[in-house]
């Protein structure tokens, strides 16, 4: 815990969609938290922060979580972090034959490298404190292969594998590593696809899962949770 005894929760990709919903869920929880919100979109971060008035405090850090230099720069600005939610990520729908190396690397960076960089940033402090939580946003794409979404599937398979290995590294050290793998959930990335938003899961329900994992007894680790809409698999149209 931080010196104030009020936990600090760092959420990446917090400017919109599920990330912003997670921030609101923690801000409105019965137990107060300090929020640290990270995303590339500063305007989106400010808007998200305004909806988190229930938090003990809210700080925003405009930064690209996949950029090693920008993440390193956060170290001097951030107070010790008790809870990390690795939510930053991007999606790309493109067949392998039409995808450039740059595009492939960009998706790996946004989803997988960002998870490593932020975990690497906060983990020493958690180990020193003897307590912490690292919650990683994965996807049903970590368990399956979707045609035309190879880069994203590869990245999310990587996040899942990284999370499993990290959990073993910190076992017995009072640091929980949990993953949440939602299927199609409403976010701006679905706009223009022709999919009815009613067929997608609401971000607030995915966000609630992260908060509930955190609120469980510390002897309980939700290793992996998969959430799907009742309609089943939805391909973008």
The residues carrying an active-site annotation are 152
CA–CA separation, 65 and 70 (whole Å):
7
156 touches 111 (CB < 8 A): yes
CA–CA separation, 50 and 38 (whole Å):
14
What φ, ψ does residue 75 adopt, rounded to 5°? -55, -40
The label of the residue with tokens 């600090």 reads 8
Query: What DSSP line would sit under 15-40, residue for residue?
Result: TSHHHHHHHHHHHTSSS--EEEEEES
> What tokens appear for 169 in the block?
């590294």
How many degrees, rounded to 5, is the angle at CA 13 between CA 12 and CA 18?
A: 110
């Amino acid at each position: 815990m931080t010196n104030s005894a009020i936990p600090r929760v760092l959420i990446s990709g917090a400017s919109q969609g599920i990330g912003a919903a997670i921030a609101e869920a923690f801000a409105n929880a019965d137990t107060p938290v300090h929020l640290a919100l990270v995303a590339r979109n500063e305007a989106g971060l400010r808007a998200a922060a305004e909806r988190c008035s229930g938090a003990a405090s809210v700080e925003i850090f405009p930064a690209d979580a996949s950029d090693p230099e920008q993440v390193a720069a956060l170290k001097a600005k951030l107070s010790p972090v008790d809870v990390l939610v690795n939510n930053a990520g991007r999606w790309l729908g493109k067949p392998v034959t039409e995808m450039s190396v740059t595009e492939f690397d960009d998706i790996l960076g946004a989803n997988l490298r960002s998870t490593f960089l932020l975990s690497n940033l906060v983990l020493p402090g958690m180990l020193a404190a003897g307590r912490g939580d690292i919650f990683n946003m994965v996807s049903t794409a970590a368990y399956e292969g979707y045609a035309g979404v190879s880069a994203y599937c590869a990245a999310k398979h990587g996040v899942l594998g990284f999370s499993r290995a990290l959990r073993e590294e910190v076992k017995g050290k009072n640091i929980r590593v949990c993953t949440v793998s939602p299927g199609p959930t409403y976010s701006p990335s679905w706009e223009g696809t022709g999919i009815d938003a009613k067929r997608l899961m609401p971000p607030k329900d995915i966000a609630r899962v992260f908060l509930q994992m955190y609120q469980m007894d510390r002897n309980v680790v939700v290793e992996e949770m998969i959430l799907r809409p009742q309609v089943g698999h939805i391909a973008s149209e």
